[in-house]
Amino acid sequence: MTALAISNGVLWVLVLVLSAVVLALVRQVGVLHERIAPAGALMLNRGPRVGEPAPVMELVDLEGRTHRVGGEQADGRSILLLFVSPACPVCKSLLPAIKSSRKDERGWMDVILASDGDISEQREFVRAQGLEAIAYVVSAPLGMAYQVGRLPFAALVDEHGILRARGLVNSREHLESLFEAKRLGVASLQEYLSSAA
């Protein structure tokens, strides 16, 4: 009877620990889902090509300032266009990386966040995520011009209005690879590998 009682007590402790572990794992699965949810397989070869002039567009941000994207830049700075949306969880997780890249690369590059849809929702997004310092344009034609299919999407336009890099950016590494592409003057990883060979 004592052995049974002890066995029972030990089992309860183990079951308790086990169910706590299950709960912790379930929560972890939730975190993972949040992170990977909208990342899809896709590299769409549509829209302006890297190495060619980007479409020239006049954009007005939420503060009413005008930005000219494409064409020769008067101030000799490059522009990083980042297409985001309040409804995209990966965009939110990328925002800290965008903010810090903007600071690190401020010597040669300006960041413009681009979105489209309901203006009040965009304003709320800007306020909630603390993006007041970054130019934020709401323009459907811009997304159309760059053929943005999936978010978060980035396009790097250099000081001469040439599109230097474009693609889906899911992480800080993807973002950095855009700057690397401009520094090295190669359009894509494929081009870099074939030139090295």
Partner 1 sequence: MIDPAVGALLSGAFALLFLGAALHKWRDLAGFAEAFRAYGVLPAAWGWMARLLPVLELLVGAGLLAAATRALAATGGAVLLAVYAAAIAVNLSRGRRDLSCGCGGPNDKRPISTWMVWRNLALAALLAVTWLPWTARQMDAADALTVGAGTAVAAFLYLSLDALLGRTARQGARLRASS
Q: Does 3 bind partner 1 (CB under 8 A)?
A: no
CA-closest candidate to residue 116, choices 137, 131, 89:
137
Q: Residue 13: which H helix or E strand, with range?
A: helix 2-36
20 binds partner 1 (CB under 8 A): yes
30 lies in the site for partner 1, by CB under 8 A = yes
Q: Taking contact as CB under 8 A, which single stretch among the options 12-20, 138-146, 151-159, 171-179 is the one that binds partner 1? A: 12-20
Q: Is 84 helix (H, G, I), strand (E, B) or coil?
A: coil
Counting contacts by CB under 8 A, is residue 10 touching partner 1? no
Taking the CA atoms of residue 142, residue 101, residue 157 and residue 170 in that order, the dihedral angle to the nearest 10 degrees is -60
Give min distance, CB of 16 to partner 1, in A: 5
Instruction: Give the Cα separation of 81 and 61 in Å (integer).
Output: 13
| Residue whose CB is less far from partner 1, 15 or 184 | 15
Footprint of partner 1 (CB under 8 A): 5, 8-9, 12-13, 15-16, 19-20, 22-23, 26-27, 29-30, 33
